[in-house]
Chains A and B, each alone.
Chain A
Amino acid sequence: SYDLTQPPSVSVSPGQTASITCSGDKLGSIYVSWYQQKPGQSPVLVIHQDTKRPSGIPERFSGSNSGNTATLTISGTQAMDEADYYCQAWDINTVTVVFGGGTKLTVL
């Protein structure tokens, strides 16, 4: 099966840039989406097709995907961005959806 690997946790100071990585074999050849989930809430799509922001998502959220690594970048991180973040991709070979294990972003 296809695996996506994320760091369990990332810390960032308010106003600084946070980068969350997602690694997988030849990940750059398929689209990656990113979700934000706050405690007790449903996930929210923040990036799709590697780099696109849905309507209503702040411009400080951006994404990239190349080689074996996709990255979610949050510029000028705010306290409200503290949440769990998950990457997700479609495994063409097994025709299944794969999520990364999730990264807890702490803003301190």
Chain B
Amino acid sequence: EVQLVESGGGLVQPGGSLRLSCAASGLTVSSNYMTWVRQAPGRGLQWVSLVDSDGRTYYTDSVKGRFTISRDNSKNTLYLQMNSLRAEDTAVFYCARIQRAGTTGYAFDIWGQGTMVTVSS
């Protein structure tokens, strides 16, 4: 069974750091495009970051310079290092696998259960 399991969320003070993990089974993280998506309480989905199979990384503007996406091939795990956290980063963070078709067909076909990040003093 293909599965993604996030962990690492919790309560952190403004300005603090947190590292999220996404452990994969049934798929190889390094061979896939992988992504993080977040959802603030009562709000819609917001794309955060993705890493392609060549290791190139992309970020939404609001997290550039603060968040870093990475992967550990030996552990088959995706990470999101989050620094300088702000109250507006409070959200459920999901990791997902990207299914690609052509140059614009990016669909998130496998999702984890999400991990909650709360930034508050």
Q: B35 — which chain A residues lie within 8 A by C-beta?
A: 97
Q: List residues of B (63-121) whose CB comes within 8 Å of A's CBs.
A: 94, 99, 101-109, 111-114
Q: Choose among A37, A96, A101 the residue that contacts B47 (Cβ–Cβ < 8 A).
A: A96
Given A35-B45, A86-B44: A42 and B111 within 8 A (CB)?
yes
Closest to A33 in B: B107
Closest to A55 in B: B109
Q: Choose among A1, A54, A90 the residue that contacts B106 (Cβ–Cβ < 8 A).
A: A90
Q: Is the CB of A97 within 8 A of B104?
A: no
Chain A contact-residue range equals 20 to 34
Closest to A48 in B: B107
Binary per-residue interface labels of chain B (38-58) against chain A in the complex, 1 for a CB within 8 Å, 0 otherwise: 000000111100100000001
Q: Is the CB of A102 within 8 A of B44?
A: yes
Q: Answer yes or no: A92 CB below 8 A from chain B CBs.
A: yes
Q: List residues of A (23-50) whose CB comes within 8 Å of B's CBs.
A: 30-31, 33, 35, 37, 42-45, 48-49
Q: How far is the CA of A92 from the CA of B104 in the complex (A)?
A: 7
